[in-house]
């Protein structure tokens, strides 16, 4: 079992030490500003968790809350202020945004050196070119997990299920940069099981609960499950109701991944659970990105 909270704690501890080093060398405390548009409950939780993460490692954090009626132009003005604010080292716009806001314009307006989400086209281009850049947090967290568990990537067959800009595409690039042989599957893939069974390392980020069953995974594979699916009691089958009885009794719902854990876990050499796997890594790597952004802006060697 690969424990996300355990590895995330180690990373936060390292970041905390480096933050104090930046303060000692430059008299500046690295800072992250998050923009939250509207009142989406899940987004509020994510923003709060990011702020708590900043507190843990000694960073400054600020949340700017804007109404869900805001126009693209007014949001761009807010971002522009932050781009030129030397006390802000990282800028993050919490997604999703309301329908009237042009998401691409917004994400592209953040200066690449402050783009701690790593979604700017320039950041993506640098990733392709294997140049120094800020890399999306979840994919870089996956690489960190593999390396800290001493799981060899070089020359391995890796299958990725999902091709999103947030996870699928950047993790493919990172793995190629680590000299893995990478296959990407998606909804139009004709025989997904053929590709997943061929994988030494399987990364699943499709947003479909229990998409990957035991028959789709080879013996001894490393399985990284990025999916987070909330299943209410009324949608759960008997097997899930029994397995996650405590969750259903306490909360009326449970979280599961895209991998059928009960079927796949006995076959895997390593596996990430849901919850308690990749999720905690995302905030840890976001903090690491904010530190990296601050070091770049302050002229400190990475």
The total of other beta-carbon atoms located within 10 Å of residue 24's CB is: 8
Catalytic residues: 50, 94, 117
At residue 137, the pLDDT reads: 96
For 203-226, what is the mean pLDDT? 97
Q: Within this chain, do residues 199 and 80 fall inside the same structural domain, yes or no? A: no
What single-letter DSSP state applies at residue 62? E
Determine, yes or no, domain membership for 276: no
Q: What CATH number should be reported for the domain holding residue 201? A: 3.40.50.720
pLDDT one-digit tens code per residue, 20-55: 999 999 999 999 999 999 998 889 999 999 999 999
Determine, yes or no, domain membership for 142: yes
CA distance 196 to 185: 9
Average pLDDT value over all residues in the chain: 96
Q: Within this chain, do residues 165 and 258 fall inside the same structural domain, yes or no? A: yes
Determine, yes or no, domain membership for 287: yes
At residue 84, the pLDDT reads: 97
pLDDT one-digit tens code per residue, 100-139: 999 999 999 999 999 999 999 999 999 999 999 999 999 9
Q: Within this chain, do residues 212 and 259 fall inside the same structural domain, yes or no? A: yes
At residue 301, the pLDDT reads: 76
From the list 102, 46, 106, 113, the residue with the least C-alpha distance to 80 is 106
Q: Within this chain, do residues 103 and 54 fall inside the same structural domain, yes or no? A: yes
CA distance 248 to 236: 10
At residue 42, the pLDDT reads: 87
Q: Which H or E run includes 76?
A: helix 72-83
Q: Within this chain, do residues 260 and 289 fall inside the same structural domain, yes or no? A: no
Percentage of residues in the chain with pLDDT exceeding 70? 100
From the list 49, 33, 32, the residue with the least C-alpha distance to 41 is 49
Determine, yes or no, domain membership for 62: yes
Determine, yes or no, domain membership for 127: no
Q: What are φ and ψ of residue 210, in 5° steps?
A: 55, 30
For 76-89, what is the mean pLDDT? 97
Q: Within this chain, do residues 108 and 87 fall inside the same structural domain, yes or no? A: yes
Q: Within this chain, do residues 169 and 265 fall inside the same structural domain, yes or no? A: yes
From the list 165, 235, 239, the residue with the least C-alpha distance to 205 is 165
Phi/psi region, residue 300 (left: phi>0; alpha: psi -120 to 50; beta: rest), is: beta
For 258-269, what is the mean pLDDT? 98
At residue 302, the pLDDT reads: 63
- Cβ–Cβ under 8 Å, residues 244 and 276: no
Across 172-189, b (16+ Cβ under 10 Å) vs e yields bbbbeebebebbbbeeeb
Determine, yes or no, domain membership for 124: no
- Cβ–Cβ under 8 Å, residues 205 and 282: no
And the tokens for 156? Answer: 């391995």
Domain containing 80 equals 14-116+281-297
Determine, yes or no, domain membership for 38: yes
Q: Within this chain, do residues 105 and 27 fall inside the same structural domain, yes or no? A: yes
CA distance 281 to 167: 13
Q: Within this chain, do residues 142 and 239 fall inside the same structural domain, yes or no? A: yes
Question: How many structural domains comprise the chain?
Answer: 2
Place of tokens 């409950």: 41
257: pLDDT strictly greater than 90: yes
Q: Within this chain, do residues 68 and 143 fall inside the same structural domain, yes or no? A: no
Q: Within this chain, do residues 22 and 42 fall inside the same structural domain, yes or no? A: yes
- Cβ–Cβ under 8 Å, residues 180 and 153: yes
Q: Judging by DSSP bridges, how do beta strands 229-232 and 222-225 pair with one another?
A: unpaired
Q: Within this chain, do residues 70 and 141 fall inside the same structural domain, yes or no? A: no
228: pLDDT strictly greater than 80: yes
Q: What CATH number should be reported for the domain holding residue 88? A: 3.40.50.10860
pTM: 0.94
């Amino acid at each position: 079992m690969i424990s996300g909270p355990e590895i995330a704690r180690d990373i936060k501890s390292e970041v905390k030490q480096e933050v104090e080093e930046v303060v000692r060398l430059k008299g500046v405390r690295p800072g992250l500003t998050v923009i939250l548009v509207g009142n989406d409950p899940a987004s509020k939780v994510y923003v709060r968790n990011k702020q708590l993460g900043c507190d843990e490692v000694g960073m400054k954090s600020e949340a700017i809350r804007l109404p869900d009626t805001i126009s693209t132009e007014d949001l761009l003005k807010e971002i522009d202020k932050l781009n030129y604010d030397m006390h802000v080292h990282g800028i993050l716009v919490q997604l999703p945004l309301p329908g009237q806001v042009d998401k691409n314009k917004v994400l592209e307006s953040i200066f690449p050196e402050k783009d701690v989400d790593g979604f700017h086209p320039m950041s993506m281009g640098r990733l392709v070119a294997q140049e120094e850049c800020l890399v999306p947090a979840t994919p870089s967290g996956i690489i960190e997990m593999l390396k800290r568990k001493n799981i060899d990537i070089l020359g391995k067959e890796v299958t990725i299920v999902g091709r999103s800009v947030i996870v699928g595409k950047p993790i493919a690039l990172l793995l190629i940069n680590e000299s893995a042989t990478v296959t990407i599957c998606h909804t139009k893939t004709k025989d997904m099981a053929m590709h997943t069974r061929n994988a030494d390392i399987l990364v699943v980020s499709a947003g479909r609960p229990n998409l990957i069953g035991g028959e789709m995974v080879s013996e001894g594979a490393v399985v990284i499950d990025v999916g987070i699916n909330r299943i209410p009691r009324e949608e759960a089958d008997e097997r899930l109701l029994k397995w996650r009885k405590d969750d259903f009794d306490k909360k009326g719902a449970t979280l599961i991944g895209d991998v059928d854990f009960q079927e796949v876990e006995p076959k895997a050499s390593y596996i990430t659970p849901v919850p308690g796997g990749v999720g905690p890594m995302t905030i840890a790597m976001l903090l690491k990105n904010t530190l990296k952004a601050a070091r770049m802006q302050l002229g400190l060697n990475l």
